[in-house]
Structure 1
Amino acid sequence: MTPRPQEAAIRALVTRPQHDAKPLVEALARRGIGAFICPMLRISVLTDTLIDLAGVQAILFTSANGVRAFAALMPDREIPVYAVGDRTGAVAAENSFSQVESAGGDVEKLAALVVQRCDTTGGVLLHPAGTMVAGNLSGRLEGAGFAVRRAVIYNAHQATGISHEICMALLNGDVNLVLFFSPRTAKTFVDLAISQGLELACERLDALCLSNAVASAADHIMWRRVLVAPEPTQISLLATLDNRLSTL
């Protein structure tokens, strides 16, 4: 059972979209950490999108949001899938894709995996994604001789404010740490925190960041400590959290 945030000795702020927040909250609960959910992005599927699967040899997913949006739009599950990380791969498997392989990391690792597994003459690589993408997956693969077709299938709307409940928790010192999984999420939170006068409250928090790029997006505000996962995966970020907990 997930504890209420107020009942836990250590409390975290989870900034992931709603779908991705739940497994993270459960992972935190297993560590005795309560969680306030404060999504910085809201995902909406672009239901009018037409996806061309003609000549596609593989689908490349760079986020769990892309998997869910594609699954909502298309019934096809037989085309091989290459996922940027284990969580994205797990969501693809949960949505009944029959052939899924995870790169276990970031866009560069995904590109390297695709170059190893796919044939430049075998057909198009389809990259279903949002209106904004991080990294240069298409450029990396096109440079290796592949044809890449990007399909824009969802929008990630930035939060326009931090709720009163979360603001009060921050101001009252009821939050000990915040987790950031993308540069856009980190920047959105920082911008809102500054605009809502929460800078001093954030100085009491540890900021746990998925990568150096995420940490850079969070560095426009002072934190008690900034911790960066050695690998850009949730498992690695949680291991970083475990190491931090051992010092408290």
Structure 2
Amino acid sequence: MTPRNAREPAPAVWITRADPGASETAARAAALGFLPRVLPLLETVDLPVDPGLLAGDGPLAFTSANGVRAFVRLSPRRSGRVYVVGAATAAAARAAGFPDVIEGAGDVEALAGRILADPPVGEVLHASAREPAGDLVGRLASAGRPARIVALYAARDTCPAAPDLEAALASPFILVHSPRAGRRLAGLLAGASARPFVMGLSRACLAPLEGLDLAGLAAPDSPLETDLLNLLASRR
């Protein structure tokens, strides 16, 4: 008998996140037997920042790999303790040359708890997006830990070509990595006949899609890329 996967085409999955993360997700989805369609709904752009705002030798905090990449473009500093939100951001920080990387459990609240459990010396600098996913500085400040935020990059909507968007919307599965991408996707699906199964990195990513006529919505218990891909694999 011919194996099921040998006679059926690989199901397509639309990856909506921005590069370079999109390409990494696509490679992992392909390894799971899916046909990845990379069509980012957002792209990241650097913001004008006075490099002096990044000076100092206190601890750094990053809540995304994009934050790490933006920081290293602006500052030569690679020393001191670095706190990161999860595995992907930790990998980006180590690849950039930071030797002392402390990894959180996948979200801002857990990262704040990790910092407060072993308070570092000095003010924590959160190198962040213009619209961060959570209020890390506020959480630390409420516990008496000095912290400040500097926005290094922003996300903006992309303008996919109509044929590319039509093909992406025909995918039976869609992955969403941020609440903003979820809002953008909700607007596109609201006027389409497609009924995909949408999986988000967290429930917050999927909140804008609730109420739409879809095949389903699901998010992993932890906001980790590996857990999201395991969820995708379970639909194969």
The CA deviation string for residues 185-224 of structure 1, in whole angstroms up to 9 with x for no partner, is 1111212343xx32x11x1x11011111112122253210
The CA deviation string for residues 27-58 of structure 1, in whole angstroms up to 9 with x for no partner, is 01101211111112111112443343455421
Partner of 1:225: 216
Q: Is the 8 A contact 2:14 2:168 kept in 1?
A: no
Give the alignment's TM-score, normalised by structure 2: 0.90
Counting only pairs closer than 5 Å after superposition, residues 65-214 of structure 1 correspond to structure 2 as 65-119=66-120, 122-159=121-158, 161-170=159-168, 173=170, 175-194=171-190, 197-198=191-192, 200-201=193-194, 203=195, 205-214=196-205
Closer/same/farther in 2, CA of residues 191 and 115 from structure 1, 3 Å limit:
same
| Displacement of 1:106 | 0.3
Q: How far apart are the structure 2 equivalents of 1:32 and 1:69? A: 33
Partner of 1:215: 206
SS at match of 1:223: coil
| Displacement of 1:94 | 1.1
Partner of 1:26: 27
Does 1:240 pair with 2:231?
yes
Q: Is the 8 A contact 1:183 1:218 kept in 2?
A: no
Equivalent position amino acid for 2:29 in 1: L
Q: How far apart are the structure 1 equivalents of 2:144 and 2:178? A: 29
Partner of 1:44: 45
Q: Is the 8 A contact 1:51 1:151 kept in 2?
A: no
Q: Is the 8 A contact 2:80 2:100 kept in 1?
A: yes
Equivalent position amino acid for 2:46 in 1: V
Q: How far apart are the structure 2 equivalents of 1:17 and 1:183? A: 13
Paired residues, number: 229
Q: Is the 8 A contact 1:47 1:73 kept in 2?
A: no
> Which consecutive unaligned segments of at least 5 residues does structure 2 have?
1-7
Q: Is the 8 A contact 1:81 1:100 kept in 2?
A: yes
Q: Sequence identity of aligned pairs in percent?
A: 31
| Displacement of 1:170 | 4.7
Q: RMSD across aligned C-alpha pairs, in angstroms?
A: 1.8
The CA deviation string for residues 223-246 of structure 1, in whole angstroms up to 9 with x for no partner, is 10111111100011111112222x
The CA deviation string for residues 60-98 of structure 1, in whole angstroms up to 9 with x for no partner, is 001111000001111100121111010011111111111
Closer/same/farther in 2, CA of residues 152 and 224 from structure 1, 3 Å limit:
same
Partner of 2:3: none
Closer/same/farther in 2, CA of residues 90 and 170 from structure 1, 3 Å limit:
closer
The CA deviation string for residues 149-172 of structure 1, in whole angstroms up to 9 with x for no partner, is 11111121122x44323333256x
Q: How far apart are the structure 1 equivalents of 2:201 and 2:141? A: 27
SS at match of 1:75: coil
Give the alignment's TM-score, normalised by structure 1: 0.86
Q: Is the 8 A contact 1:40 1:185 kept in 2?
A: yes
Equivalent position amino acid for 2:115 in 1: V
| Displacement of 1:102 | 1.1
